Structure 1
Amino acid sequence: MLKYIISITVFLSIISSSFAQKKEQNSTPKDSTQYKTAYGIRLGVDLSKPTLSFVDKSYSGLEIVGDYRISKSWYVAAEMGYEKETSFEDFLTSSSKGSFMRVGVNYNAYKNWLDMTNEIFVGFRYGLALFEHSLDSYTPNVTTGSTNTPIYFPSIPVTTPRAESGLMAHWTEFQLGIKVETLKNLYVSGGFSYKIMLSVDDQSNFKTLYAPGFNRVFETNTGFGFFYTLSYMIPIVNK
């Protein structure tokens, strides 16, 4: 009888020890450290435009940029501004001025560490411009209708401006750039854009040479641009 009592006592001791160890393991707190990043509105200015205005007196412009983070890698983005450009060509001078807006999205392909929010992004935009185009001066070619007298350009150009307002341009744009947080919530960004013109209104009897927000309009209806922005993020929520 004593042997059985000792055996049962040993068995119960082993079971009790096993349950105690299991309970201790379950009560061990898990690592609950989480690294959250800020979601908010980021607003700034494209520094390339005032810089170009300072260097090139035939140009003036200002562009405000902004975006809002909607997920880990996706941002909705927009730019709006004003530009005036005077184009000098052989035998003519023209100018274009007006407002523009671009809206679209950015995808961040860069994998940040912990709570960093740097970006290597690819962006898509739809662009719209409302502008005025003016033929400021031109030298018309003159012909007498005689085969013995070749076409020539008078030495004195026509300097009476011919302007037309209410013109519109529509285009799509692809962007590639980087964005780096230099100080807390302060970002520097730079990159390039490739633009495809969908439609543009021409001045009567004269082709539009420049559209605000799009830049120079070439025969291929494509164009390029660059940007260098400084922006600040207003945090709204951490996720």
Structure 2
Amino acid sequence: MLTLAQAQEKPTVKSDSLQIADSIPVKKDRYGLRVGVDLFKFTRGFYDKNYKGIELTADFRWNKKYYLAAELGNENKTTEDDRLTSNSKGSYLKAGFDYNMYENWLDMENIISIGLRYGFSSFSQELNSYKIYNPNPYWGELAAIPANQEFNGLSASWIEVVTGMKAKMFNNVFVGFSVQLKTLVTNKKPEGFDNLYIPGFNRTYNGSFGIGFNYSVTYFIPLYKKKVIIK
């Protein structure tokens, strides 16, 4: 009889366990799409007469630490040096990912990231004028020779390592910057000339090395949330 009474007793939940469960802090991470513009390229044309360009940026939060990222842009750059004047113009696309190394607390959504991109550019080059090198300029420097040669159908691709940060200024608006270190994978050059500036890649240093910088303002479009239990 005693055994039957014990079997009919309902299991009880300790109040201490409920209090511990209720005391565990819970936050909700927002997931969605962030879109914006590179202010560095957008404003450069106001003070640099040899440059016009724009770059649109976007990223999508894939999970807690990883973001899918892409940049789409167009550039028109005139290069002037002691020997020649040339112009490069075209469009480019970069795609890859960012890894957020910053551990946010509660409602913070800041990012300190390192990432990787694969870039592709389609562009044209125009040689406007050049000077023939004269090792013995006894009669002075030779005048620039007009060229007006245009080379179409050029392309280049590269891989770049990106490091940067994004800080939430106010609701859904972020300001950030990044630095890119790039190396060329392919480079279709015009015959008898070189690609001195590649849209999206920037100037070419030592043949295949390039650097880049951007300063962006982006807007976050939240799509859904995930609960995170803070240990």
Which TM bucket (shorter chain)?
0.7 to 0.9
What is the CA distance between 1:88 and its match in structure 2?
Answer: 0.8
Matched, 1:140 2:132: yes
The structure with the largest alpha-carbon Rg is 1
The aligned counterpart of 2:102 is 110
What is the CA distance between 1:100 and its match in structure 2?
Answer: 0.5
Change (3 A) 1:163 1:116: same
Instruction: Output the amino acid matched with 1:183.
Output: F
Deviation string, structure 1 residues 127-159 (Cα, Å, up to 9, x no partner):
00000011111123479xxxxx88988633222
What is the CA distance between 1:198 and its match in structure 2?
Answer: 1.1
Matched, 1:205 2:192: yes
What is the CA distance between 1:206 and its match in structure 2?
Answer: 0.5
2:118 to 123, 126, 130: 126
Q: Higher relative contact order at CA 8 Å, sep ≥6: structure 1 or structure 2?
A: 2
Deviation string, structure 1 residues 23-60 (Cα, Å, up to 9, x no partner):
56389463175210110010000000022211211011
- Equivalent residues of 1:142, 1:152 under 8 A apart: no
Whole-angstrom CA distance in 2 between matches of 1:110 and 1:224: 24
| Residues paired across the two proteins, number | 218
Change (3 A) 1:184 1:95: same
Q: Which moved more, 1:197-206 or 1:95-104?
A: 197-206
Whole-angstrom CA distance in 2 between matches of 1:192 and 1:120: 12
Deviation string, structure 1 residues 115-134 (Cα, Å, up to 9, x no partner):
32111000100000000011
What is the CA distance between 1:173 and its match in structure 2?
Answer: 0.4
Matched, 1:39 2:31: yes
Instruction: Output the amino acid matched with 2:155.
Output: M
The aligned counterpart of 1:49 is 41
Whole-angstrom CA distance in 2 between matches of 1:102 and 1:153: 46
TM-score, normalised relative to structure 1: 0.83
Q: Give the SS at the match of 1:49.
A: helix
RMSD, matched Cα: 2.6
TM-score, normalised relative to structure 2: 0.86
Q: Give the % identical residues.
A: 38
Change (3 A) 1:104 1:151: farther
Q: Give the SS at the match of 1:161.
A: strand
